[in-house]
Structures are given as structure tokens and as C-alpha cells.
Amino acid sequence: MSPFESWLWHAWLPKVRSAINNDWSPDDPSPAIRLYEVWSRFLPPFIRDNFFDQLVLPKVHKAVADWNPKKQQGPLHTLIFPWLPHVGLRVDEVLGEAARKVKSLLRAWKPADDVPKDILVWKDVFDSSEWEALLLKYVVPKLGATLREDFQVNPANQDMKPIQQVLAWSSVLRSTIFSQLLETQFFPKWLNTLHQWLIHPGARFDEIAEWYKFWKDVFPEHVQRMSGVERGFTSALQLLNKAIELGPEVTTRLPPPDLSLQTTATSASKPAAPAKNRPSRTQEITFRSIVEDFASSHNLLFIPAGKVEEKSRMPLFRVSQTADGKGGLLVYILDDAVWASDGDAFRAIGLEDMVLRANKR
């Protein structure tokens, strides 16, 4: 060591160690960060490593491990994000435990709880496909169950809490997923109630029109613009117009709403082959996104099944009309192809075949 480095090691570092260990809390990273920023250009690598590896990061890791969303404390990201510009190659180590906490948070989340505070700040921390897989695995099925089991359409005494719990996620979930959730779980109930009301002998169209307007206003504008939601309200308008056209015969001649899912696309071009020099993981994510988008365009969800196929050891996904994890078609992705069960083995199938088979189950 040079004389200056020796002074840092024997005089500066012990005082910093004492202050960090005894006085500093990771809940307020600012003092330690200011200290580091002021001294960083003077610190040789071995002292900088000691500062992070022996003093700061152990306390940050412990704070993350002890973090509990049910206790009165700050958001998880405030413990970590301020350090990210400074930790260099340690970034994965710093984020690893926090990512596990986020997964645990979503796993334990219930629709009766609020949307986890600041959940969107973690979106860019995860790989995009991993982030969406988390939401599909831990959030979407619970929202679907809320609409199926807890939500009832009752014009006389409407309980809005279940639908409000679902709408709270409209800016977190991908719009195509959220749109399909409403189209498959909300609108069938709502349109059936509208039909029953229209064929009731004492129905008043002015009341029904107000009820329609009330429900449309319940959905934020960005949700109203989603394709599945637009189709739902269009079906309602068609019912209303047909009822007016039938007049007195509406009670016997108004057909029930068509609740079959409408597809927004009937074909897709074959995906282009990925560039030869592109890393294999990038190829996998790119082709998987194509499969997800194709499934979504046909009102199907692409949900991680939480298990792997025995022979290939590839993760399985369920292509399904509903978010309850039941039915549908189990597939995995390998070598830019979708593989689905065919008797005792998995065989590569086309995207159109995937959609046809998923809709039959």
C-alpha cells in the first residue's frame, strides 16, 4: 500500500466501519451514499470492495430479508435502488433477494388486498417474459376467480367491490390479458343480466339505458378502448337496439346474447427465422413472444404451468380460454416450435393447430 492507502485502511476505514455498523440504517441509504460519492474517487479497489462487501451490502441484504409488506415500513425498492448506480457487477447479487421477495409478495397477494404499493417499479428489474409470467401465475387466476365467484350483477343492489379490485390492476397487466379477463369473466354475467332485464314485462328502457351508461363509466377510458371491452359494450348496444326494434314482442322474441368469444385475427404469418448470431436465449424469448401474441389475438391465455415436460425438461405452458389454470392445451417451446402432447409423446405443431386444440379443451 502507498502511504495514502495505508492511512485510508488504518484510519479512515475503521471510523467508517464503526459508523456503518453502529449508526447507519439501510432504511435511509442517503448518508452512506453521500459518504461513498464524496470519497469514491480516492478509494483504491480493495478498500472500495471492503466498503461494499463487508459493510454496506450485508446490512442491505439483511434489511431486504427482514422486509415485510405488512409492517409499517418503506417500500422494498428504497432499500436497493439508490445503490444500483454504485455496485457495478454486484447488481445481480443485490437484486436477487429482492426479486425473490417480490415473487413471494405476489404469491401471497389476495384480491381483497390493495395492489402492492410501487409494484410497477419492479417491471424493468425482471426480464419482460419473467415479469409477465409472474403476473399470469400469481395475479390473473385470482382476478378471474374474483369475477367468477365473488362478483354478481345485481341492478337493485350492486356490490362494486369485486370489480373495483379487478380494475385496480388494469394499468399493471398487459392490455390484451386484461381485456380477455373482462371479456370471458365479466361480460357473460353482465350481458345475461341485461337480457333478463330487457325481456321482463315491466322493464323500462330509460332505466336500462342509465344502467348501461353507469357501467360504461365504471371502466376507465384506457379500459374502454380495449378490444374485448369494446366488443362487450357493442353486444349490449345490439341487444338494446334489437329490444327497441321488437317493441312489445321483446319479452318472447329477444334472442339471448352471443357469448362465444370473438377472435380478432384469423391467421398469422410464419415468424421470420432469428438471426444466426443472436444468442439462443434471445431467440427463445422472441419466438415465445410471437406465440403469446398469437394466442392472445385468438382470446387465449399463455400461462406458465409451473412444471416441466419429463423428457425435454422444458417448462410447460397452458394455452387456455380461462385464467383458472384448468383445461386448455399443455405445450412447451423449443427450437422455434410449439410442442404439444400427441398421445404418449410431444410433437411440434403449428400455431393454428395450437389454437384449434386449445379451444376444444
Q: What is the DSSP string of 77-136?
A: HHHHGGGTTT-GGGHHHHHHHHHHHHHHHHHH--TTSPPPTTGGGGTTTS-HHHHHHHHH
How confident is the model at residue 72, as a pLDDT? 57
- For residues 133 and 99, the answer to whether their CB atoms sit within 8 Å is no
- For residues 143 and 166, the answer to whether their CB atoms sit within 8 Å is yes
How confident is the model at residue 361, as a pLDDT? 66
| Phi and psi, residue 341, nearest 5° | -65, 135
Enumerate long-range contacts of 15-19, CB under 8 Å, 24 or more apart.
Answer: 16/51, 16/55, 17/54, 17/55
How confident is the model at residue 335, as a pLDDT? 77
Closest CA to 316 of 329, 328, 330: 330
Those residues with Cβ within 8 angstroms of residue 76's Cβ, 6 or more apart along the chain or in another chain = 64, 67, 69, 98, 101, 102, 118
Sorted by where each begins, the domain ranges of the chain are 3-127, 139-253, 280-359
- For residues 200 and 316, the answer to whether their CB atoms sit within 8 Å is no
CA R_g for the chain: 27
In whole angstroms, give the CA distance from residue 335 to residue 347. Answer: 12
Sheet holding 301-308, edge to edge: 301-308, 315-320, 329-333, 338-342, 345-349
Residues in the chain with pLDDT < 70? Answer: 72, 260-286, 323-326, 361
pLDDT digits (tens, 9 = 90+) for 247-301: 889 888 999 987 764 433 333 333 333 333 333 333 334 577 778 878 877 778 8
User: Where on the phi/psi map is residue 336: left (φ > 0), alpha (ψ -120 to 50), or beta?
Assistant: left
In whole angstroms, give the CA distance from residue 18 to residue 87. Answer: 21
| Cell representation of residue 41 | 474517487
- For residues 161 and 181, the answer to whether their CB atoms sit within 8 Å is no
What's the CA dihedral at 231, 144, 104, 92 to 10 degrees? -20
In whole angstroms, give the CA distance from residue 64 to residue 62. Answer: 5
Q: What is the pTM of this model?
A: 0.69
In whole angstroms, give the CA distance from residue 233 to residue 176. Answer: 17
- For residues 301 and 323, the answer to whether their CB atoms sit within 8 Å is yes
**Could you identify the residue written with the cell 368469444?**
261
